[in-house]
């Protein structure tokens, strides 16, 4: 009896000591070796490591509708950022503009479908990739140390670009300075002040500029990688934003904890910030003009329109400072392969120009249409205008697909009034071009993230502010842009305010649909533009007579119920509540 | 290293024990009688004496036996229906009564206990109950048979049919589409799907529900275990059993779609509702109605054209069992054949596109006494199944998709030219697609798809009485393989679209345009092996049992290794188990069971692979206490209580590593050469472990007045370690998919009740049985993402709780729309669903979704009732089964959601809103558009899924024994049976258990005969 119990429990104990401790246990339960790719695999050769960096590049902002880049299809849900400015109206019913902005429905709890959702823009993904790259690239054997430095500088530029987007959209950014582990994240990631964020980005650009080539040596293979000029350009752009009244003012644009903590306000006006912006822009302009490697694009023999089109559309044209690429060619009209929706989306009601957009373009003689001497005829509104108008939206009577655009109601391009593809009367033309197989479906595309033209205009704007009026160099810089499309020089003797306004007009004309306008109106706190009722245009044809009827677009929430909170995006409430240190922006608490 | 030698030594030691011999003792003759609880003699029961293995005596037809033995030895009785009793020989005359309490219940991992002594929650159903069903997959015979076992029917033809099976509901949830709610199915001690078997080879199916029963399965048992035991030879001599069953099958329910006129009118109505121009002019509507132009304005009933009303099934089985000296075997062959419902399958010369399934099952279970103390068991079983069907790219559901989605008005079956019918072109259209259902059935060629499975077990059992009385050792191996193949002979065919040219003002037909599409091709052949798997298990165990004074002990120590391999990376599953269980009984009144298991799995990383699962259960048989002995009320009364742990390791493999994945890159340069990328995958999961379920159970088993049995169980489970996403708590600043974490917690509680009333009144006997199972889960923690409103939270709700918007009627007019909160999903029009603004922000969006009714996965309440009456060999049996507290989402196109993307409309939509019916309508307006406002989860489409079904009803006749004995037939039964006949439910238009577009559920009417020799 006793013996049996002892035997029994001895064997029981033996088993319960654990299968894992038995040699047979772990051998049996371990898996076959050598089938998993890990971080060590990737950083074992330069080819693999580079591929990791390229996937970091892929997280860069892309303004055309894509579905493939880090969940970015939820960015305004396939809509254009321009559609929440005065230049553009969206009729995409399930788009973010219609569903979240026109009706004021956007909230801190809404994660997707906003113009900038901190956690859904691929920003932290890109930053993590870049830091992981920087932290591990030294492990790769047999690589030229100079090349390693260049690669690290490129990775740094990926981070800088993402920080710069955060800065423009939410203000002071979370301080992420290496690739975090899960446990670090849970502790504390505080939000930096606005000025520190800007300083951080500038420091990254400066550091990157040291190791990046001024221009790409073999563009046939590597056009699109970051250059020193790209770093200098990004620095100029962020310094202009930093100097602008939204943050650089004697009072915050809206009171709140984030303002008190200087995350959305610098605390006081500092004129010197304009100087920094001016100098940074001029450094680049001077170096570009000295070397001749970068210039405002012009090709002998081109029409003004063609020059302008190539300036934003063509890869490697010498004007492009930063050009972002997810695909090589645009796909067919409705194809969603590669997540490219932008051709299809214009037929769904995206990117419709407003009457205000059309009216912002001057006449070809350089005079605004409001000038009695301009020659503008409201009954034939589209002739003799700034050539950039025709390249920005499709207007009636312009050439389109080798024929004349018919945008009267019942015409080929606007078969009925409610046709969403032309609901305001002005379908988008920029990027879309003729929207046919021969010209654009199969065309090489990219996102013109930063062009030299912007630096010229930024310099003019900053210098006007710092010097309390435009000097000759400021004039020169604006006129270079105007002259490219055949517009004459600006008249001399403009006041500071006139010149400032002219710079914004020039930027609207040059960069419509290039994500410049939104940031211009918020950095100048242009409540008036937010409140402005916008318009569309119906053309009716009777015989050969065209009648132009301007009508009011549906009221936008902020036309009537405006708050400066709209200048910045909310931080997703779920992120704030995770309690690692994010402070909500003013008005979104 | 030391332990390594220890285990080798252990094996050697076991081997030595196997080949040693026991001794003999002095004897005398005892006689006895065995009766059942009704007082009938039990013939063919086997009597052995534990101390004298190898000797077997059988009772005669009067239940009498005589046997050589000694006083004080243990006599063991085993009857045909797996009843067992052991008792000490005390008198010369032995009277034994075998009752249900003597049923041997498999309690998992190679241990069996008499029902009377059970302390755990186990339900069992035996062959005589199961064979009242005519089904191919034995799982379909389990509806409402065991409390706590939820079996939910699915569509699909019988050869592809697998019901969903849950034990005590669900208490876990997978990540994304990963399923972790599978129960463990064990056949004869080894893991196998029950669908591999045929019903005729099954002796019993047991369901293990509480920790006391499940702890032995370590981290495989938490979702419950279904134990299937196949038949073995019992009784004396040779017996043969033949069964033939012929059945007529029909679709249980098919939806009714509108005829062409109804469809066209509905389309016009929908277009009008959308503010668009009507598609059909009045003269065209008239043509649909009159049928005057059957090619241009067809009115095709696609169900009628495509399906036969009835089809047939046949089942045949013959089994043999015999005990011959030292060899006992049970052998069976079973053949199932069922034809599908498709009609036009013989339009081709030389081949048929018939859909049908054939399956041949075989099994031989052999027990051999190699020596008096060494038993060798070999079970060889398998099946060869092959089914044929039209060669559509997926399965039959492609065809049903075409039948249901193609409107009657879409196109004719054949276009009119050329006139020779054999060469007529198939109808089709660009609008409605080139999926002419009749063409898909008859003209795309055919596919043969098959599965071959082999299952084999080899077990050696050695009695070690010579070493220690009551000790035995057992070792075994099982190897299964399953292999699928598919041969496709596919062809394409020519369609023709016919379009009338209409005078827009009068509607007159001016001309007809016939446009051909595609071309008729010859066969192309392709073949594939869709899946295969193989599983190997090896085990060794040591059993010890002892009876001393009024104490009783039986115990098992088990060591088991198993491997399941499927053909892809990270798809091999290995487990290692060391487990022990001991059952102790005192004076037939007090029982206790202790189980300990230690289980390792390869899906977890080194150092975290193994888990320890203890369980303790107690039973108190009050009816054996003095104060209840001889009670007029209680024949049996037992209280049970158990507590213990059980695990679940169904988690995604390899997530303890951070994988690096090749990904899309970037387009540098001016050329189309992409530089491909690498990215970091989801971070390694942490913490990562198996799920642990802490299970508590209390139960009562009672028999009263010799006619009423009651079983009641109450349980409370808490499950921890459920793998969940951590995105809800980890900052997005991380910049990569955050790891999964085993941080989910749920609870599940419920009640099971079984009542059985049975009585014998001379030649008449009856039983009325009722079962009820209720379980309700609750999510305690799932690291849920932040949700701004309390009612949006999944935490605190049932698993798979339905969430949607709450409908408060339909918009009356533009004023109503203007005055209501803005709905952001689409532009709304009168007749669209008006939602309740739950958070009062005057905007209706995803933040207004509330929990609606119940969960969508498992009904909370599952119940059944059965009745049996028998008089002089004529009897009737019926089983009803129902569910309640389940929500279903009616989102099937055409059947529930009409007309979108040129799909069909059924009579379900008769109640759709129109301006005229605005006050009484129950469904929103028809629309031809996607209508994101109406067609999203909301309280209109979430409906009560409860039903009550008549699962089976049978009328049988047992031929009188005296008549049969002259024919040398031992028993014979003739039966008429109906399966799955009726349902009372809210859905009405289709089977509430299968609302999707797929092969429908089937009813059958069977006639069968069963003869035993």
* Three-state DSSP class for residue B259: coil
Side-chain half-sphere exposure of B809, counting CA atoms within 13 A: 11
φ, ψ for residue B110, nearest 5 deg = 70, 30
pLDDT at site A452: 97
Name every chain B residue with its beta carbon within 8 A of the beta carbon of A21: 3
φ, ψ for residue B95, nearest 5 deg = -115, 125
- A436 lies within 8 A of chain B by CB: no
CA distance linking residue A339 with residue A326, whole number of Å: 10
Name the DSSP class of B984: E
pLDDT at site B469: 84
Contact criterion met (CB < 8 Å) for B657 and A38: yes
Name every chain A residue with its beta carbon within 8 A of the beta carbon of B736: 125, 128
CA distance linking residue A191 with residue A194, whole number of Å: 9
Span A499-544, pLDDT tens digits: 999 999 999 999 999 999 999 999 999 999 999 999 999 999 998 8
Name every chain A residue with its beta carbon within 8 A of the beta carbon of B557: 8, 11-12, 15
* Three-state DSSP class for residue A271: coil
Q: Give the burial class of B511: count Cβ atoms within 10 A of its Cβ; 0-12 exposed, 13-18 middle, 19 or more buried.
A: exposed
pLDDT at site B22: 44
CA distance linking residue A87 with residue A93, whole number of Å: 18
The secondary structure of chain A in percent helix, strand, coil, rounded to multiples of 5, reads 45, 10, 45
Tell me how far the alpha carbon of residue A550 is from its chain's centroid: 31
CA distance linking residue A326 with residue A67, whole number of Å: 11
Give the number of other Cβ atoms within 10 Å of residue B19's Cβ.
10
CA distance linking residue B686 with residue B730, whole number of Å: 12
> How far are the Cα atoms of B700, B716, B772 from residue B754, in angstroms, in the given order?
10, 18, 6
Please give the residue of chain B at the shortest CA–CA distance from A217.
B669
Side-chain half-sphere exposure of B455, counting CA atoms within 13 A: 23
Pairing of β B660-666 and β B708-725: unpaired
Contact criterion met (CB < 8 Å) for A24 and B932: no
Nearest partner of B213 among B576, B578, B575, B594, judged by Cα: B594
Cβ distance A89 to A424 under 8 Å? yes
Residue carrying structure tokens 């051999």: B368
Helix or strand run (H / E) with residue B457: strand B445-463
Cβ distance A449 to A325 under 8 Å? no
**Category of B602 on φ-ψ map: left (φ > 0), alpha (ψ -120 to 50) or beta:** alpha
- A577 lies within 8 A of chain B by CB: yes
**Category of B952 on φ-ψ map: left (φ > 0), alpha (ψ -120 to 50) or beta:** beta
Contact criterion met (CB < 8 Å) for B664 and A55: yes
pLDDT at site A333: 45
pLDDT at site B1: 40
φ, ψ for residue B395, nearest 5 deg = -125, -150
Q: What is the mean pLDDT of each run of 10 residues along chain B (1013 residues)?
A: 49 51 60 83 83 78 85 83 80 83 81 87 91 92 95 90 94 90 95 95 94 93 95 85 96 96 95 90 93 92 95 96 87 96 88 93 95 93 95 89 95 76 79 90 93 96 88 94 95 88 87 86 90 94 88 92 90 92 92 93 90 95 88 91 96 91 84 80 92 97 92 97 89 89 96 94 91 97 89 95 96 93 88 94 90 95 96 94 96 93 94 92 92 93 96 94 83 94 94 93 95 91
Contact criterion met (CB < 8 Å) for B576 and A180: no
**A window 135-174, beta carbon within 8 A of B:** 174
**A window 25-84, beta carbon within 8 A of B:** 25-26, 28-31, 35-39, 41-42, 48, 50-52, 54-55, 57-58, 68
Nearest to B670 among A7, A316, A326 (CB): A316
pLDDT at site B385: 95
Please give the residue of chain B at the shortest CA–CA distance from A96.
B824
- A21 lies within 8 A of chain B by CB: yes
ipTM: 0.87
* Three-state DSSP class for residue A325: coil
Q: Give the burial class of A261: count Cβ atoms within 10 A of its Cβ; 0-12 exposed, 13-18 middle, 19 or more buried.
A: middle
Q: What is the nearest CA distance from A146 to chain B, expressed in angstroms?
A: 21
Reported residue count of chain A is: 589
pLDDT at site B421: 57
Span B302-360, pLDDT tens digits: 999 999 999 999 999 999 999 877 899 999 999 999 999 999 888 888 889 999 999 99
Low-confidence ranges of chain A (pLDDT < 70): 1-24, 34, 66-75, 111-112, 185-186, 330-341, 437-442
Nearest partner of A471 among A282, A316, A245, A194, judged by Cα: A282
pLDDT at site A69: 44
Contact criterion met (CB < 8 Å) for A58 and B845: no
Report H helices in B739-861: 814-819
Cβ distance B732 to B772 under 8 Å? no
Cβ distance B559 to B6 under 8 Å? no
Contact criterion met (CB < 8 Å) for B680 and A48: no
pLDDT at site A74: 54
CA distance linking residue A574 with residue A589, whole number of Å: 12
pLDDT at site B72: 82
Reported residue count of chain B is: 1013
CB-based burial, B525-560: b 16+ in 10 Å, e otherwise: eeeeeeebbbbbbebbbbbbbebeeeebbbbbbbbb
Nearest to B600 among A25, A35, A54 (CB): A25
Radius of gyration over every alpha carbon of chain A, rounded to an integer in angstroms: 27
Contact criterion met (CB < 8 Å) for B735 and A127: yes
Give the number of other Cβ atoms within 10 Å of residue B125's Cβ.
17
φ, ψ for residue B939, nearest 5 deg = -70, -10
Give the number of other Cβ atoms within 10 Å of residue B462's Cβ.
23
């Amino acid at each position: 009896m006793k013996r049996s119990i002892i035997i029994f429990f001895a064997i029981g104990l033996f088993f319960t000591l654990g299968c894992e401790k038995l040699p047979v246990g772990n051998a049996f339960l371990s898996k076959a070796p050598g089938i998993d790719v890990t971080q060590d695999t990737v950083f074992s050769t330069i080819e693999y490591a580079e591929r990791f960096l390229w996937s970091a590049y892929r997280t860069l902002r892309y303004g055309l509708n894509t579905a493939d880049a880090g969940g970015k299809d939820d960015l305004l849900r396939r809509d254009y950022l321009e559609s929440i400015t005065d230049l553009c109206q969206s009729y995409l019913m399930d788009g973010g503009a219609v569903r979240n902005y026109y009706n004021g429905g956007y909230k801190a709890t809404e994660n997707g479908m906003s113009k900038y959702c901190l956690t859904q823009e691929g920003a932290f993904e890109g930053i993590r990739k870049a830091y992981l790259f920087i932290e591990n690239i030294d492990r790769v054997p047999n690589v030229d140390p100079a090349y390693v430095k260049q690669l690290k500088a490129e990775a740094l530029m990926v981070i800088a670009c993402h920080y710069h987007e955060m800065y423009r959209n939410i203000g002071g950014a979370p301080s992420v300075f290496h690739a975090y582990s899960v446990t670090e994240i849970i502790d504390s990631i505080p939000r930096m002040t606005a000025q520190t964020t800007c300083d951080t980005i500038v420091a990254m650009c400066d550091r990157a500029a040291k190791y990046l080539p001024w221009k790409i040596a073999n563009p046939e293979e590597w056009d699109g990688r970051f250059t020193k000029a790209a770093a200098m350009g990004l620095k100029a752009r962020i310094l202009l934003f930093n100097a602008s009244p939204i943050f650089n003012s004697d009072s915050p644009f809206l009171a709140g904890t984030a303002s008190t903590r200087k995350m959305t306000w610098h605390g006081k006006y500092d004129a010197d910030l304009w100087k920094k912006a001016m100098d940074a822009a001029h450094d680049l302009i001077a170096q570009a003009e000295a070397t001749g490697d970068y210039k405002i694009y012009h090709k002998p023999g081109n029409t003004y329109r063609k020059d302008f089109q190539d300036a934003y559309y063509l890869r490697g044209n010498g004007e492009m400072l930063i050009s972002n690429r997810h695909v090589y060619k645009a796909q067919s009209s409705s194809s969603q392969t590669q997540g490219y929706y932008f051709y299809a989306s214009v037929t769904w009601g995206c990117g419709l120009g407003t009457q205000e957009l059309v009216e912002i373009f001057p006449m070809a003689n350089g005079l605004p249409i409001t000038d009695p001497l301009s020659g503008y005829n409201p009954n034939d509104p589209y002739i003799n205008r700034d050539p950039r108008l025709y390249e920005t939206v499709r207007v009636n009577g312009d050439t389109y697909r080798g024929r004349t655009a018919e945008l009267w109601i019942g015409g080929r391009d606007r078969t009925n009034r409610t046709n969403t593809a032309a609901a305001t009367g002005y379908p988008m033309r920029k990027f879309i071009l003729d929207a046919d197989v021969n010209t654009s479906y199969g065309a090489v595309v990219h996102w013109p993230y930063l062009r030299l033209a912007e630096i010229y205009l930024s310099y003019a704007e900053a210098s006007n502010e710092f010097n309390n009026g435009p000097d000759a160099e400021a004039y020169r810089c604006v006129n270079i842009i105007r002259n490219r499309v055949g517009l004459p020089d600006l008249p001399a003797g403009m006041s500071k305010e006139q010149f400032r306004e002219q710079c914004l007009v020039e930027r609207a004309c040059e960069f419509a649909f290039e994500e410049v306008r939104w940031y211009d109106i918020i950095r100048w706190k242009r409540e008036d533009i937010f409140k402005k009722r916008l318009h569309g245009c119906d053309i009716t044809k009777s015989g050969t007579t065209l009648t132009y009827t301007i009508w009011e677009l549906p009221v936008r929430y902020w036309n009537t119920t405006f708050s400066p909170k709209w200048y910045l995006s909310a931080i997703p409430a779920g992120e704030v509540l995770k309690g690692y240190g994010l402070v909500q922006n003013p008005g979104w608490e | 290293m030391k332990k390594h030698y220890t285990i080798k030594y252990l094996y050697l030691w076991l081997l030595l024990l196997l080949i040693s011999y026991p001794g003999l003792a002095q004897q005398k003759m005892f006689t006895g009688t065995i009766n059942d609880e009704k007082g009938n003699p039990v013939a063919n029961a086997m009597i052995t004496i534990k101390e004298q293995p190898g000797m077997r005596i059988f009772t005669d037809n009067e239940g009498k036996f005589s046997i050589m033995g000694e006083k004080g030895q243990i006599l063991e009785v085993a009857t045909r229906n797996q009843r067992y009793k052991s008792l000490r020989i005390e008198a010369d005359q032995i009277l034994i009564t075998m009752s249900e309490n003597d049923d041997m219940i498999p309690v998992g991992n190679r241990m069996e206990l008499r029902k009377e002594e059970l302390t755990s929650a186990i339900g069992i159903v035996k062959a005589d109950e199961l064979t009242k069903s005519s089904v191919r997959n034995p799982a379909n015979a389990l509806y409402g048979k065991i409390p706590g076992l939820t079996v939910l029917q699915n569509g699909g033809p019988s050869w592809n049919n697998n019901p969903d099976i849950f034990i005590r509901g669900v208490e876990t949830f997978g990540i994304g589409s990963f399923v972790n709610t599978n129960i463990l199915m064990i056949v004869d001690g080894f893991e196998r799907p029950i669908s591999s078997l045929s019903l005729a080879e099954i002796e019993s199916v047991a369901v293990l529900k509480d920790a006391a029963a499940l702890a032995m399965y370590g981290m495989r048992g938490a979702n419950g275990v279904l134990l299937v035991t196949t038949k073995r030879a019992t009784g004396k001599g040779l017996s043969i059993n033949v069964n033939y069953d012929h059945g007529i099958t029909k679709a249980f329910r098919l939806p009714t779609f509108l005829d062409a006129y109804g469809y066209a009118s509905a389309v016009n109505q929908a277009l009008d509702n959308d503010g668009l121009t009507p598609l059909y002019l009045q003269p065209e509507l008239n043509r649909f109605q009159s049928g005057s132009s059957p090619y241009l304005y067809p009115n095709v009933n696609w169900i009628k054209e495509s399906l036969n009303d009835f089809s047939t099934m046949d089942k045949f089985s013959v089994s043999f069992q015999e005990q011959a000296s030292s060899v006992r075997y049970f052998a069976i062959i079973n053949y199932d054949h069922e034809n599908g419902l498709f009609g036009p399958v013989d339009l081709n010369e030389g081949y048929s596109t018939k859909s049908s399934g054939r399956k041949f099952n075989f099994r031989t279970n052999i027990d051999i006494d190699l020596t008096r103390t060494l038993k060798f068991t070999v079970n060889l079983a398998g099946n060869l199944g092959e089914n044929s069907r039209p060669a559509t790219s997926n399965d039959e559901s492609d065809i049903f998709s075409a039948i249901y989605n193609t409107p009657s008005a879409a196109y004719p079956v054949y276009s009119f030219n050329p006139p020779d019918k054999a060469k007529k072109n198939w109808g089709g259209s660009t609008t409605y697609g080139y999926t002419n259902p009749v063409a898909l059935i008859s003209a795309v060629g055919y596919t043969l798809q098959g599965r071959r499975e082999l299952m084999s077990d080899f077990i050696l059992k050695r009695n070690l009485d010579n070493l220690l009385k009551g000790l035995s050792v057992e070792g075994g191996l099982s190897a299964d393989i399953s292999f699928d193949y598919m041969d496709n002979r596919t062809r394409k065919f020519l369609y023709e679209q016919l379009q009338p040219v209409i005078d827009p003002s009068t509607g007159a037909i001016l001309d007809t345009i016939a446009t051909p599409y595609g071309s008729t091709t010859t066969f192309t052949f392709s073949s594939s092996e869709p899946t295969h798997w193989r599983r190997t298990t090896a085990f060794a165990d040591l059993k010890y049992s002892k009876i001393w004074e009024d104490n009783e002990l039986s115990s098992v120590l088990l060591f088991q290794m198993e491997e399941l391999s499927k053909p892809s990376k990270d798809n091999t599953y290995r487990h290692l188990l060391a487990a022990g269980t001991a059952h102790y009984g005192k004076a037939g009144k007090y029982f206790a069971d202790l189980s300990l298991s230690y289980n390792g799995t390869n899906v977890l990383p080194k150092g975290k692979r193994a888990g320890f699962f203890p369980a303790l259960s107690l039973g108190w048989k009050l009816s054996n206490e003095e104060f209840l002995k001889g009670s007029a009320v209680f024949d049996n009364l037992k209280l049970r209580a158990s507590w213990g742990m059980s695990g679940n390791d169904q988690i995604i493999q390899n997530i303890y590593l951070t994988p690096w994945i090749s990904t899309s890159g970037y387009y540098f340069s001016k050329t189309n050469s992409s530089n491909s990328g690498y990215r970091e995958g989801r971070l390694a999961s942490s913490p990562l472990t198996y799920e642990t379920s802490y299970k508590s159970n209390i139960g009562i088993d009672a028999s009263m007045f010799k006619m009423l049995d009651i079983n009641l169980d109450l349980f409370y489970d808490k499950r921890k370690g459920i793998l969940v996403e951590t995105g809800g708590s980890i900052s997005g600043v991380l910049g990569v998919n955050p790891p999964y974490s085993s941080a989910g917690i749920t609870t599940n509680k419920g009640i099971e009740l079984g009542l059985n009333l049975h009585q014998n009144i001379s030649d008449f006997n009856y039983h009325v049985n009722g079962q009820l199972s209720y379980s309700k889960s609750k999510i305690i923690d799932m690291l849920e993402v932040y949700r701004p409103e309390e009612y949006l939270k999944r935490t605190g709700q049932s698993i798979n709780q339905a969430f949607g918007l709450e409908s408060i009627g339909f918009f009356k007019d533009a004023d109503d729309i203007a005055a209501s909160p803005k709905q952001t999903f689409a532009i709304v029009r009168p007749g669209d669903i008006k939602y309740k603004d739950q958070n009062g922000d005057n905007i209706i969006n995803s933040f207004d979704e509330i929990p609606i009714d119940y969960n969508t996965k498992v009904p909370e309440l599952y119940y059944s009732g059965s009745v049996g009456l028998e008089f002089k060999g004529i009897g009737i049996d019926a089983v009803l089964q129902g569910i309640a507290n389940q929500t279903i989402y009616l989102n099937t196109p055409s059947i529930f959601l009409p007309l979108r993307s040129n799909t069909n409309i059924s009579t379900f939509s008769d109640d759709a809103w129109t301006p005229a019916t605005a006050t009484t309508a129950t469904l929103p307006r028809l629309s031809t558009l996607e209508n994101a406002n109406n067609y999203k989860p909301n309280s209109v489409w979430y409906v009560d899924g409860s039903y009550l079904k008549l699962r089976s009803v049978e009328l049988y006749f047992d031929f009188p024994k005296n008549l049969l004995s002259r024919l040398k037939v031992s028993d014979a039964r003739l039966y008429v049976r109906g399966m799955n006949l009726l349902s009372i439910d809210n859905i009405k238009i289709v089977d509430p258990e299968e609302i999707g577009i797929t092969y429908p559920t089937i009813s059958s009417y069977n006639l069968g005969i069963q003869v035993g020799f």
